Chain A
Amino acid sequence: MAHDADDPHHHHDHHHDHGQEAPSDIALRVKALESLLVDKGLVDPAALDAIIDSYEHKIGPRNGAKVVARAWSDDAYRARLLTDATSAIAELGFGGRQGEHMVAVENTATLHNLVVCTLCSCYPWAVLGLPPNWYKSSPYRSRAVIDPRGVLAEFGATLADDVDIRVWDSTAEIRYLVIPRRPAGSEGFGEGALAALVTRDSMIGVAILPPVTP
């Protein structure tokens, strides 16, 4: 309102104290719903904590990075991963929810792979954990299929002119893991050091791993 803009003191008076902000409406709604469901015996609050702990500490992109590092280090494993990703990933102890049917797709000097779910937010939880917000957002879902190069540019990734892009719109129950190109300069690296180079975004296909200096 105009008089607010003209009166900075008025505006100031209505600031909430920092650090004492009231819980948002949705936070209160969720708290009330959880309380109702616990009271009805529909959910076990300790199970909720265990689910959250799993995705905060156990199931995340470090799992996928280990798979990629193994593929870079072991040609026989790489071949198994490209043939039957679900089994090859299970060899490292990963699988299950939103990773039941995995396919690994490999970036090469002439092909770059990019994963999206235009209809919702399908994502390989078992190897990458829960998807980042941008992956689930309208801008990414709408444009990844029609303008993958523009999307890559927004992430700061540029492909050479002779590299084809293949977009994987994961709208069924198959989940895709991109095997990024192994960074130049990592030739002497062991699996652990290689895994540390692999980023979540490179396994979605929106990032290209930079060269490393040994």
Chain B
Amino acid sequence: MNGVHDMGGTHGLGAIDAPVDEPLFHAPWEARVLALTLAVGAWGRWTLDASRHQRELIPGPAYLAMSYYEKWLTGLTALMASRGLITAAELASGQPAPGAPKASPPLTADKVAASLARGGPAMRDVAAPQRFSAGDRVRTRNINPAGHTRLPRYARGREGVIERDHGVHVLPDTNAHDQGECPERLYGVRFTARDLWGETARSGDSLHLDLWDRYLDPA
């Protein structure tokens, strides 16, 4: 979706605030939001892609105004409600619905280390056509889907060169919308800074994006 989250190349969003010795969390609640997001995610009611898309759905002005973990909290709350883990009444009252059976959490403390060490690989061992090889010139498609995509606006309709074949990866464009993993070949593509930003960009500078097969046409 062409949301404010797709901000590569935007001017005027301010100076970078990078304090020395910044704490990992700015307040204890940030740590709890991180942990809640991972622990509730273990229920498997949504994919990582869906949780990313849920944050993109935060209206633009609010998205830009919110702190990082506020966005996570907003996304997590919305997903739990829409996927049936909590009800609006429970959220409002802070109490479980009367008579609701108590569940058993899938992620217990003893499983945390193994869960983090396992992660969630996105590569799939399935056959998928290899349309391009290293050195091939490609042009990205000019797509503007209303849903989730990983082809940023600044790189649409641009020519680049295939640098690497990363194998077959889950496609976020469908996976975020519960339309299946639809694994496709993922390519590392290099663009010159001038092809992306014009003649004022420095010759020799470049940018690299990892792009799924369906984003690309032969140039």
Residues of A within 8 A of B105 (CB): 41-44, 47
**A164 CB within 8 Å of chain B:** yes
Is there contact, CB below 8 Å, between B36 and A37?
yes
**B57 CB within 8 Å of chain A:** no
Complex interface: stretch among B95-103, B127-135, B136-144: B95-103
Closest CB-CB distance, B10 to chain A, in whole Å?
4
B90, B112, B166, B208: the one contacting A101 at CB < 8 Å is B166
Binary flags per residue of B30-44, CB closer than 8 Å to A gives 1, else 0: 011111101110010
Is there contact, CB below 8 Å, between B32 and A47?
no
Residues of B within 8 A of A142 (CB): 7-11, 13
B7, B18, B91, B186: the one contacting A172 at CB < 8 Å is B186
Closest CB-CB distance, A30 to chain B, in whole Å?
4
Is there contact, CB below 8 Å, between A155 and B16?
yes
Residues of A within 8 A of B22 (CB): 132-134
Residues of B within 8 A of A144 (CB): 8
How far, in whole Å, are A117 and B78 apart by their CA atoms in the complex?
24
Is there contact, CB below 8 Å, between A143 and B13?
yes
**B202 CB within 8 Å of chain A:** yes
Closest to A38 in B: B105
Interface centre among A118, A136, A140 (most CB of B within 10 A): A118
**B122 CB within 8 Å of chain A:** yes
Residues of B within 8 A of A172 (CB): 122, 150, 166, 169, 172, 186, 209-212
A137-B55 contact, Cβ under 8 Å, with A36-B91, A43-B107, A96-B118: no
Is there contact, CB below 8 Å, between A146 and B13?
no
Residues of A within 8 A of B56 (CB): 120
Is there contact, CB below 8 Å, between B119 and A169?
no
How far, in whole Å, are A208 and B100 apart by their CA atoms in the complex?
56
How far, in whole Å, are A42 and B154 apart by their CA atoms in the complex?
40
**A189 CB within 8 Å of chain B:** no
Residues of A within 8 A of B170 (CB): 173
Is there contact, CB below 8 Å, between B17 and A137?
yes
**A50 CB within 8 Å of chain B:** yes
Closest CB-CB distance, B6 to chain A, in whole Å?
6
Complex interface: stretch among A4-12, A54-62, A63-71: A54-62
How far, in whole Å, are A52 and B112 apart by their CA atoms in the complex?
10
A50, A121, A206: the one contacting B68 at CB < 8 Å is A121
How far, in whole Å, are A164 and B204 apart by their CA atoms in the complex?
5
Residues of B within 8 A of A121 (CB): 68
Closest to B53 in A: A120
In the assembled complex, 22 residue pairs joining A and B whose CB atoms fall closer than 8 Å, in A order, are A29-B73, A36-B95, A37-B36, A39-B102, A51-B34, A54-B116, A55-B24, A96-B118, A100-B121, A100-B122, A116-B8, A118-B6, A133-B17, A137-B16, A145-B9, A145-B207, A146-B154, A168-B207, A172-B122, A173-B122, A173-B123, A173-B169
* Chain A residues near B (Cβ < 8 Å): 24, 26-27, 29-37, 39-44, 46-52, 54-56, 59-60, 95-101, 103, 116, 118-121, 126, 129-130, 132-134, 136-146, 148-149, 151, 154-155, 164-174, 206
* Chain B residues near A (Cβ < 8 Å): 5-11, 13-18, 22, 24, 26-29, 31-36, 38-40, 43, 52, 55-56, 64, 68, 70, 73, 77, 85-86, 90-91, 94-96, 100, 102-105, 107-109, 111-113, 115-123, 150, 152, 154-155, 166, 169-170, 172, 186, 188, 190, 193, 196-197, 202, 204-212
Q: Add 7 more A-B contacts to A33-B91, A41-B103, A44-B39 (CB < 8 A).
A: A30-B33, A39-B95, A50-B113, A134-B16, A143-B16, A145-B9, A174-B210
